[in-house]
Structure 1
Amino acid sequence: MTTQPQTDSNDTPEQNAPQQAAAPTQAEEELQKDLDRREELCRQAEQVAEERDWRHGSGDLRRLQEQWNDIRRWHDPREDALWGRFKTAREAYYQARDAAHEQARAAKEKLVAEAERLAKSDQWNATAERMRTLMDDWKAAGRTGDREEDDRLWERFNAARRGFFDRRSEHFTQLDEQRAKAKETKERLVHEATLAAATSADWTGDQWAKASARMRELMDQWKAAGVAPKADNDRLWEEFQAARKPFFDAQHAHYEALDAARKAAAEAKQRLIDQARQLAQGNDFGHEATERAKQLDRDWKATGFAGKELGDRLWKEFTTAKEEFWDKRRAHNDQRHEEWLQRTRDAIDRRKQRIANLQEQIDRLQDRLNHAYATDHVEEMQERLDDRREALAQVEAEVRDMESQLKD
C-alpha cells in the first residue's frame, strides 16, 4: 500500500519551501488549489470505494494515488487530514474487495458442491432447471481475486454441469429410442387387438375365456411397452381402445344373455322344486304321480345351467323334495306289500283248510264207494267224488301259485 509521499532529497529548496519571492497571497492561493485537488481525489477515492468495481477499482485507486503523489507537498495539517481521508477510502475499498473475494470463493465452493451432488441426479427436468439457476448464481458470485482459484473452481463446476447434461442428453436419446420402439410395439398391438376382437355367437364358454385371456395379455403387453411420443401415444391409445371395444361389447352382450338364461333356468328349476314339494306333501303314490315324479327329473335336465352356486343350492332343494316323495312312496308300497302278504297268507290258510275239508270229503266218498253195492247209486257217488277231486286239484293249484308269489 502506498504511503503519504515524503520530501525527496533531490528536491530543490524552491520545491521544499515557500518561495520567498512569492507574495503570501499567491502561496495561499496555490496551497488552496492543491488542497482542492486533494479534496477531489478523496472524493473520487470514496466514490471508487463505494462503487466497488473490483475489476477496475484497483487501477483507479493506483491512478488516483499517482495523481496524489504528483501534487506539491505543503506540510499543511489539512493535507494530513485529507491523506487520512484518502487512505481510509482506499483501505475500505481493499477490505471490501477482500471480503467480496472471500465471499465469492465461499459461494463458488458451495455452488461447486451442489453441482457435483446434482451431477448424479436422475431428476432430469428439475435438476436441469436448478443447474441453470446455479449458473446464474455463479455469474453473480463474482471473482475470488485469485485467477488460479477461479479457474480451479470453474473446472470443477463446469465438469459437474457438463457431466449431468451429458447424462441427461444420453437419457433423452435413449428415451427417444424407447418411445420410438414403444410406438412400433403399440401399433402392432392395435393390429393384434383388431384381430382378437372378432367373436362368434356360437362360442362356448371356453372360447370366451380364451379370448378374454388374450385381451388381458394384449393389455399387459401394452403396459409393458412403455410410453410412445405424446401425440402418438394418445392417438394409439384411442385406436387400441377402439380395436378392443367390439370384443367387450360382444362379451357384455353374451354375458347379459347368459345371465338372463341362468335367471330363466333358476326360475324354471324353482317351479320344478315347488312341484316336487307338492308331490312329496301329497298322499298320491299312484302311477300318474310316479310318472310325474319321473318327468320332473327329465324337465330338470332340460332347464339349463343356473350358475354353480345357485344351481347347487337349487339342486339340493330339488333332491330333498324328490327323496321325500320317493321315501314316502316306498313306505306306502311297503305297507301295501305287507298288507298283501298278510292277505295272501290268510288266503292260503283258508285254501289249505278247504283242501283238508275236500280231502276229508273225498276220503269218505271213496270209502263209501269201496263198500257200495250196485243198488247204492255208485255212479252218482263216483260223479261227486270226481267233482271233489277236481275242486281239490284247483285249490291246490291256487295255493301253489300263491306260495310261489310269496317266494318271489
Structure 2
Amino acid sequence: MTTDPWGRVDDDGTVYVRTSEGERVVGSWQAGAPEEALAFFKRKYESLLTEVELLEKRLATTDLSAAQALASVQKLRDAVTEAKAVGDLDSLARRLDVLTERVEQRRIEQKQAQEEARAQAREIKERIVAEAERVAEETTHWKTGGERMRQLIDEWKAAPRADRATEQALWKRMSAARNAFSKRRKAYFAGLDEQREQVREVKERIVAEAEAIADSTDWGPTAGRYRELMQQWKSAGRADRATEDALWERFKSAQDRFFTARNAVFAERDAELRGNAEIKEKLLEEAREALLPVTDPREARVRLRDFQERWEEAGPAPRDVRDRLEGAFRRIEEAVRRAEEQEWQRTNPEARARAEATIAQLRDSIETLEKQLADAREAGDERRASQAQESLDARRAWLAEAERALAEMS
C-alpha cells in the first residue's frame, strides 16, 4: 500500500482521499505503479485548486456580479465535494466558504449601489420632468420652449433607468407636459392669427389717413398728425410679415411725399433768411468781444440789452443754423447772468456774516478738539486720541475752505 498526507492507494489499486469526514474512494488504478496513481489524482486536485485561485482573483480584481460569482462558487463547491482527486479538499472548501462570504458582501454592496443608482436616476428624471412641466406651463417663447422640450426628451432618453414603476409614473408626467405645451402653442398661434387680422385692420385705417393728408400744405398740424400716426402704428402691434411690409411701404410713401413737399417749401424760405443769419453771426462776434470775459457785471448787463434788441430785430435764421446761433447767444447771456450772481454773492453782507460765523465756530471746535487730543494722549487712550485726530483733521480742512470762501468775498 502506498500512502500520502492526503490519500493512499490500496494493494488492490483502490485510491482514497483523506478529508475531515474520513476517507472516501476517489478511483482505482490498475495501469501502473501506485505512485503514478497518486500523481494522477493530485493533478486533478491541482486543477481544482487553480480554478479556486482564478475565481478568487476575478472576485478581487473585476466587477464580477454577485449572481455570477455565487454560481461559480456553487459550481466549484459541487466539484470539490464530489472531487475524484487527492489533496487538501477541506482547505478548498474553506476557501470557498470565504469566497461565499465575499460574494454575499458584494451582493449587498451591488444591491445598495443599484438602489443608489436608481435613486439618482429618479432624481435626474424628476428634475427633467419638473422642468418640462415648467416649460409647458410658463413659457411664452415658443421657439426656445420647443427646442428646450426636445432637449429634455433627449436628456430623458440618455439618463439612467429608475425602477419600472417610477419610470412609468414619471414618463406619464413627461408625456402630459409635452402634450400641454403643444396645446398651448397651438392655441397661442391660433389667437395670434386673429390678433394679426385686427392689427391689419387698424393699420389699414392708419395708412388710409396718411395717404389722405399726403398733399396737405398745412405744414405744422399735418407734420404733428404724421407723428401721431407713427406712434399709433408702433403701438398697434404687427400683422403678418407680407401684410406688414406692404402697408409700411404705403405709409412711408405717403409720409415721404408730404415731408418732401414741406422740405422744399422750407428750403425756399430758409434761402430768404440767409441774410438774417449773416447779421446774427456778426452780432455774436461783436458781443463776444464786447462782453466776454465779464469784468463789470453792471456794465455788461446794460450792453447786453442793446445786443438782445439788435438780435431780435435781425429776425429768424434758417433752420439749419438756427439752433447753433441761438445756443451761442444764450451762452453769452448765461455768462453775464453768472457774473451778476457772483458779484451779488461777493458783496452780500448776510453771506459774509454767515461765513465769518462759520469760521469762528470751526476755530472754537478745533481748539476744543486739540485739548481733547492732548488729554487722550496724556492718558494713553489711543482709541480716543485717534477719534479726536480724525475730527480735528476734518475741521481744519473745513476751516481752510471757509477762509478761502471769505477771502473771495473781499
TM-score by length of 2: 0.46
Higher RCO, Cα 8 Å, sep 6+: 1
Which of these two proteins has the greater Rg computed from alpha carbons?
Answer: 1
TM-score by length of 1: 0.47
Structure with the largest fraction of strand: 2
